[in-house]
Amino acid sequence: MKNYTKNSITVLLLNVLFFTALMGNESLQVYTRETVSLSGNWNIIVDPYENGFYNYRWEPFDQMENPWLSAFFMDARMQTSTDLIEYNFDKAETLFVPGDWNTQDPRFYYYEGSIWYRKKFDAPGKKETDKVYLYFGAVNYRADVYLNGVKLGVHIGGFTPFHFEISDLLKTNNNSLVLKVDNKRSKEGVPTLNTDWWNYGGITRDVKLVVLPEVFIRDYSIKLESAENKKVSGSILLENCSEGQEIVFSVPELKIKLKLNAAQNGKANFSFTAKNLDLWSPDNPKLYEINIIAGEDNLSDLVGFRTISVKGKQLLLNDKPIFLKGISIHEEFAAEGGGRVNEKRKAEQLLDWALELGCNFVRLAHYPHNEDMIRLADNKGILVWSEIPVYWTIDWTNRETFANARNQLTENILRDRNRASVIIWSVSNETPVRPDRTSFLTKLVEHVHSLDDTRLVSTAMEKHYKKDDPSVAVVEDPLAEIVDIVSYNQYIGWYDGLPAKCDTTEWEIAYEKPVFISEFGGGAKYGYHGDADTRWTEEFQEDLYIRNLEMLDKIDGLCGMSPWILVDFRSPRRPLAEIQEDFNRKGLLSEKGEKKKAYFILQKYYNDKK
């Protein structure tokens, strides 16, 4: 994008930028590259009426031929004593990035709306032909992004990465990066108005600058096709290259070195067989260094090789049966007063708690977690269920809602498709069985298959009871016919009767597929004790787990479970004074990491499970 001027942005250009950002960028591999971090304190202006974005006629400033200086993205200054500019980022307060605003300042605890962020930075060192990209790990929920008064675009969706090329807009010094971040919930959103987790607003993940040569390695994909013959295949995508551009791909430890040539579209496919390949698994999380060189660019990464498949009612990892000893996790770390996980060490603590529990699997609910989490799972040998926030009931017939969900799914898969730990892509959680919903989700499942044919696809469904026999619980859902494993949530003993109901409930699941219990559980406040018939006591939760595990163990084809949930987490749906206090108390650990009695029940079950 060239020939920008600070005060001239056409409506057409903005519409193109908006559409492009909403529908998603091509993936850009950034995690293992050298980058310039823009973390730290950013100046902020709280703007609940969005006066910095709209004029008094509710017309967007950034779609005007000459935006007023009142537009916050202009980052203007008073030049004379008569100038009328009603904001000043230089004198504004600050918030730390990455981070949510809700837990950084008590005034913003319940705030939902717009906050403007501004960061000043100097251009990184670069050659004349180099490209500079601005990369965001995630911003919740809508991000309008401006650099030096020019709109880069819009990204919608609070948990997936996006980027913009900014080479032609950079100044040598004192660049002004401005974002309007809006976390207001909407009926058309993904997720929609109603969730059971906190709507943390802000620039919640890292912001980075990455400098790349003119011809660079945009991304790659790699997969193990067969655990038996150890055949590996993949592709490499270059940007700005000529047809025939040489690429060198190597795996030093396996003594693999391939010379490839890019096609006209910049893509090169490869394959090799390595009989000495050591397969990745929870017992052996082996990672290999791979190197890719193209012209002046080189990219290194660590990858594991494994297969995941189903055979009848068996789940197979590397062609061998495996039981998923799992737990569900929210991307929250309240132990130190914080909200969204914004540091690698916090992500690692959550996974270490899961390992101590005896887990080999985690369900990352209900949205894509930070890339740190997935990379750490690779290192630690933890299998992962990854999902997008198509949660409860969304606007199933709205085209923009579907495009939004599809884009979030795309960005999630493209970011994590090379991670051995990820074995299941999930397209939704607890959605109602009805035709428009089934059509919506079926198209998402088909989209997953078009992007990645190496992993399983599922969704967290629900159960009901037989009309003629209420003691028999059944799972009947059209989605069960098209997903790879039958996954469902059930809360017998908490929302559905008392724990003793588990003793008399039988299960009827008429699908020749593995069965996975994606949620069960109940609430307890750490340190609150009583008998097993008193809700919210640790004893009630303990009894619920004992009875549920005995009941679920009898299900034919049971391949694993991820009880709800590892740690107590914030939710505005949970206001009960002296018990919940804005926390969902179904955690096996308190928000401070303290172990409840049910923790030890599940730990023993997993340790005894072969």
Q: Tell me, yes or no, whether 285 and 322 share the same domain.
A: no
In angstroms, the CA 562 to CA 425 distance is 15
Q: What's the confidence (pLDDT) of residue 69? A: 78
Question: Is residue 3 one of the residues assigned to a domain?
Answer: no
Question: What is the pairing mode between strands 216-226 and 246-251?
Answer: unpaired
Last residue of a domain, one of 306, 339, 354: 306
Q: Tell me, yes or no, whether 167 and 226 share the same domain.
A: no
As a whole number, the mean pLDDT across the chain is 94
CB 566 within 8 A of CB 589: yes
Average pLDDT over residues 20-45: 83
Range of the domain at 24: 11-212
CB 412 within 8 A of CB 388: yes
Alpha carbon separation from 435 to 432, 440, 479, 589 (Å, rounded): 9, 9, 11, 39
Question: Is residue 105 one of the residues assigned to a domain?
Answer: yes
Is residue 15 very low, low, confident or very high in pLDDT (cuts 50, 70, 90)?
very low
- Token pair in block for residue 360: 């080999």
Question: Where residue 34 sits, what CATH number does that domain have?
Answer: 2.60.120.260
- ∠ CA 333-338-339, nearest 5°, is 65
Q: Tell me, yes or no, whether 533 and 508 share the same domain.
A: yes
Is residue 362 very low, low, confident or very high in pLDDT (cuts 50, 70, 90)?
very high
Each residue's pLDDT tens digit, 82-128: 888 999 999 999 999 999 999 999 999 999 999 999 999 999 999 99
Each residue's pLDDT tens digit, 236-249: 999 999 999 999 99
Q: Tell me, yes or no, whether 248 and 387 share the same domain.
A: no
CB 133 within 8 A of CB 218: no
Neighbours of 243 (CB within 10 A): 10
Question: Is residue 539 one of the residues assigned to a domain?
Answer: yes
CB 433 within 8 A of CB 53: no
Is residue 16 very low, low, confident or very high in pLDDT (cuts 50, 70, 90)?
very low
Is residue 290 very low, low, confident or very high in pLDDT (cuts 50, 70, 90)?
very high
Last residue of a domain, one of 212, 233, 254: 212
Q: Tell me, yes or no, whether 65 and 87 share the same domain.
A: yes
| pLDDT higher than 60, residue 24 | no
Question: Where residue 441 sits, what CATH number does that domain have?
Answer: 3.20.20.80
Is residue 475 very low, low, confident or very high in pLDDT (cuts 50, 70, 90)?
very high
Q: What's the confidence (pLDDT) of residue 5? A: 35
Q: Tell me, yes or no, whether 417 and 300 share the same domain.
A: no
Question: Is residue 43 one of the residues assigned to a domain?
Answer: yes
Question: What is the pairing mode between strands 383-387 and 558-561?
Answer: unpaired
Edge to edge, the sheet with strand 469-474 lists 464-466, 469-474, 506-508
CB 505 within 8 A of CB 533: no
| SS3 readout for 352-383 | HHHHHHCCCEEEECCCCCCHHHHHHHHHHCCE
CA 568 to chain centre: 19
Last residue of a domain, one of 282, 306, 330: 306
Q: Tell me, yes or no, whether 280 and 369 share the same domain.
A: no
Question: Is residue 88 one of the residues assigned to a domain?
Answer: yes
Q: What's the confidence (pLDDT) of residue 11? A: 31
In angstroms, the CA 367 to CA 147 distance is 29
| pLDDT higher than 90, residue 250 | yes
Q: What's the confidence (pLDDT) of residue 162? A: 98
In angstroms, the CA 142 to CA 5 distance is 25
The count of structural domains within the chain is: 3
Q: What's the confidence (pLDDT) of residue 237? A: 97
Neighbours of 561 (CB within 10 A): 28
Q: Tell me, yes or no, whether 199 and 285 share the same domain.
A: no
First-to-last C-alpha distance (Å) of the chain: 58
Average pLDDT over residues 481-485: 97
Q: Is 494 exposed, middle or buried (0-12, 13-18, 19+ CB in 10 A)?
A: buried
Question: Is residue 5 one of the residues assigned to a domain?
Answer: no
Average pLDDT over residues 257-276: 97
Q: Tell me, yes or no, whether 224 and 184 share the same domain.
A: no
DSSP-derived secondary structure letter, 417: T
Q: Tell me, yes or no, whether 328 and 408 share the same domain.
A: yes
Question: Is residue 4 one of the residues assigned to a domain?
Answer: no
Q: What is the DSSP track for 138-205?
A: --BSEEEEEETTEEEEEEE-SSS-EEEE-GGG--SS-EEEEEEEE----TTSSS-S--SS----B--S
| pLDDT higher than 70, residue 138 | yes
Q: Tell me, yes or no, whether 283 and 316 share the same domain.
A: no
CB 160 within 8 A of CB 227: no
Q: Tell me, yes or no, whether 313 and 299 share the same domain.
A: no
320 strand-pairing partners: 317
Question: Where residue 280 sits, what CATH number does that domain have?
Answer: 2.60.40.10
Radius of gyration of the chain (CA): 25
Each residue's pLDDT tens digit, 395-437: 999 999 999 999 999 999 999 999 999 999 999 999 999 999 9
Q: What's the confidence (pLDDT) of residue 287? A: 98
| pLDDT higher than 90, residue 194 | yes
DSSP-derived secondary structure letter, 391: B
Strand, helix or coil for residue 220: strand
Burial pattern 67-95, b for ≥16 Cβ within 10 A else e, equals bebbbbbbbbeeeeeeeeeebebeebeeb
Question: Is residue 529 one of the residues assigned to a domain?
Answer: yes
